[in-house]
A = this chain, B = another copy of it.
Amino acid sequence: MRRTPVGRQTRARGIPEATVARLPLYLRALTALSERSVPTVSSEELAAAAGVNSAKLRKDFSYLGSYGTRGVGYDVEYLVYQISRELGLTQDWPVVIVGIGNLGHALANYGGFASRGFRVAALLDADPAVVGSSAAGLPVRHMDELESIVESQQVSIGVITTPPGAAQQVCDRLVEAGVTSILNFAPTVLTVPDGVDVRKVDLSIELQILAFHEQRKAGEEPESGRGEESVLDRAPGPVRAAAAKLRRAAGGAKDAKDGKAESGKAEAAKGQGAKAQGARAEQPRGESERSAVMPA
C-alpha cells in the first residue's frame, strides 16, 4: 500500500515523528524570542535555545517548507505561526481532565495549556467528596457527566489522571463518547481501538531510566566487567540449559519473590548505600554474579 510519489519524494503527508516531537521545543524557544521582540534568528542560535543541534533543526524545518532566508536566518514571527499551524495550535482544543487528585490539579493549573490553544472544558472525578469542589477556577463535575460534556463541547482530547485501576474504564468511556486522543498519566497500558491515539507520561519510568544511567556512572572509571555475560550464559548448550532449568526450578513464585534481593551479593550491594558518586559503589560484577543472585 505504498503512496504514490508526487515528485522526488512524496513529502505531503509525512513529517517524521521525531520531528513532530521537536516542533513544540522550537515553538517554545521561538515564543521566548518573540517576547523579546527578536526579529530573526539563525538555525545555530535557535538550535542552541531549543537544545538540539543545528543540522537537525534545519532538517526538521525542511519538512515544513522553506521558511528561512539564506545568509539571514528565520523570521521569528513567521516561524512561530507556521509551526503553530503545523501542530494544529491555531485552533481551539477543548480538553477534559479525568481524575482530580494532586496531578489533576497540577494539570488544571498548568499555564502551558491555555497559551497553546488548549482549553480545559471540564474536570471530572468519581469521588463525591471531590465533586463540587473547584480547581483552577473550574468546578469538578461528576463522571456521570462525561458523555454529555464530551459530546456537547466536541471534546476530542482526554487526559487521564486517575488511579491505575480506573484508567482503562475511563478510557473506554472517553473513546465511546467520541474522544480520539488520550494523554495517559496512569501507569497502565491502555487498549484502544484503531484511530485513537494514546500518549503516555510515566513519572516512575523517567526516574528508572535516570537510575540506570546513574548506576553506570558509579562503576564507570575503569573498563570494569559490568554488564558482561556470565560464564554460564556463554557456555555451550547443555550447560546453559541446565542453568536455565535450575533457575526455573528455583522458586514457587512467592518464596522466590521474597528472597529475591536479599541473598548473596545482591544484599551486599544493597547495603552499600546509594550514590557513591565517583566511587565504586559495587564491586565490579564478576563471573559468578548472575548465579550468586539467583533465588536460593
Write the residues of chain A forming the contact surface with B, with a CB cutoff of 8 angstroms: 11-13, 15, 20-21, 23-25, 27-29, 34, 37-40, 49-51, 65-69, 72, 75-78, 80-81, 84-95, 101-103, 105-107, 109-110, 112-113, 116-118, 154-157, 159, 178, 180-183, 187, 189, 195, 197, 199, 201-215, 217, 223, 225-230, 233, 240-241, 244-245, 247-248, 250-254, 256-257, 260-261, 266, 269-270, 272-277, 281, 290, 293-295
Q: Is the CB of B77 within 8 A of A217?
A: no
Interchain CA distance A287-B24 in the complex, whole Å: 26
Interchain nearest-CB distance for A238 vs B (Å): 13
* Neighbouring B residues of A78 by C-beta, 8 Å: 247-248, 250-251, 256, 294-295
Interchain CA distance A87-B90 in the complex, whole Å: 41
Q: Is the CB of A24 within 8 A of B106?
A: no
In the complex with contacts A211-B157, A247-B78, A261-B37 CB distance below 8 A: no
Interchain nearest-CB distance for A201 vs B (Å): 6
Partner of A217, one of B27, B183, B195, B233: B195
In the complex with contacts A154-B273, A254-B37, A208-B23 CB distance below 8 A: yes
Q: Is the CB of A205 within 8 A of B21?
A: yes
Q: Is the CB of A25 within 8 A of B205?
A: yes
Interchain CA distance A276-B180 in the complex, whole Å: 11
A-B contacts, 19 listed (Cβ < 8 Å): A12-B225, A13-B226, A15-B227, A66-B229, A69-B241, A69-B245, A69-B248, A75-B247, A86-B212, A87-B215, A93-B211, A102-B103, A103-B103, A106-B106, A112-B203, A156-B274, A183-B210, A197-B213, A197-B214
* Neighbouring B residues of A25 by C-beta, 8 Å: 189, 205
Interchain CA distance A192-B232 in the complex, whole Å: 41
